[in-house]
Amino acid sequence: MYEIPAPMLAKAAASVPDPTQRPLLYEPKWDGFRGLIAWDGTELRIGSRGAKPLTRYFPELVEHLPALLPGPCLLDGEIVVATGEAGAQRLDWIALSQRIHPAASRVARLAAETPASFIAFDLLAEGADDLQPLPFRERRARLERMLARTTPPLHLTRTTDDPDLARRWLAEFEGAGLDGVVAKPLDDAYAPGKRTLIKIKHARTADVVTLGYRVHKSGSGIGSLLVGLYDADGALRQVGGVAAWSDAMRRQLVTELEPLVERDDSGAAVTDAGERSRFSGAKDVSFVRLRPERVLEVRYDQLEGDRFRHTVQFARWRPDRDARSCTYEQLETVTGYDLARVLT
């Protein structure tokens, strides 16, 4: 019945905006997979942000959501996985990412061990009514009526029109693994593929050590730098990558980093196989090893375990810093916050 559209997207802002120019509604920014749920009364389908079908990866949602939805509808929201003891749960990106696996037996096992939930935050269709042309305030009101008595694994995201409360959420909810805050114009229609929403995420800096680089996919220059931090035992751990260089900078970096390239007895550059994930596919993840001597400052939003959650951004070189001083101790510690309190 329903065609799954490209989801409405968000552009970044440095801080939570005030509703001075136009009325806004604020929501927590969930750190999961964007998902659009299409339920026609017979079949439930799950589409992703990139138009990739997600239905087969979340059999528990396919099983439980039809009984929780009062009728055919098209929902926009986020698929998340929570782990941890009761009273101290948080979103777990690693557990969620493991669900994208080709083996149906593994998917079924993980669905039982770490079941997913769906956080609904927009209603695009209800029955035969296409709601996308309606302003968000009307879509939200209908979503609230539809999910007034919903139960897990289906949740209705909380909202507020108070920017001060949204700023408090930005500070507190990170402890439950959330990604920030989203501000949504109340008078706007749904705009598939358009960046008309506003996302506010945490912005932090850290000094890290260069470990190596990957050649750009064009075959010319540096595509990304691999960076690391020293742990409490003095071991240097890879924590993420820095990308998004200009063409000129990619070529310049090859020259700048040449003196740091590790070489074998024959003089050839030493390469490492690199870490492969389920998202890398057949992509070459090998990298040229560098002596861990050069320090750079990067901007990041949050950690996932002992690694940066997303690709970090280059801020500046730090020739004044000694590589051994780049430790985990410099990173901001986030106070824990129970996910159940966010969902309530």
Dump pLDDT digits (tens) for 148-190.
999 999 999 999 999 999 999 999 999 999 989 999 999 999 9
Q: What is the pLDDT of residue 281?
A: 46
Side-by-side strand order, sheet with 24-29: 9-13, 195-200, 180-185, 24-29
User: Residue 274: pLDDT above 70?
Assistant: no
Q: What is the pLDDT of residue 196?
A: 94
Correct CATH for 204-330 of 1.10.10.10, 2.40.50.140, 3.40.190.10, 2.60.40.10: 2.40.50.140
201 HSE (CA, 13 A, CB side): 19
pLDDT tens for each residue of 281-319: 445 568 899 999 999 999 888 888 889 888 888 988 888
> Domain 9-201: what homologous superfamily?
DNA ligase/mRNA capping enzyme (3.30.470.30)
Q: Which one of 29, 52, 184, 199 is the catalytic residue? A: 29
Give burial (CB, 10 Å; 0-12/13-18/19+) of 227.
buried
29 is catalytic: yes
- Look at the pTM and tell me if it is higher than 0.85: no
Q: What is the pLDDT of residue 285?
A: 63
Q: Where in the chain is the domain with CATH 3.30.470.30?
A: 9-201
* CB contact at 8 A, 5 and 37: no
Q: Where in the chain is the domain with CATH 2.40.50.140?
A: 204-330
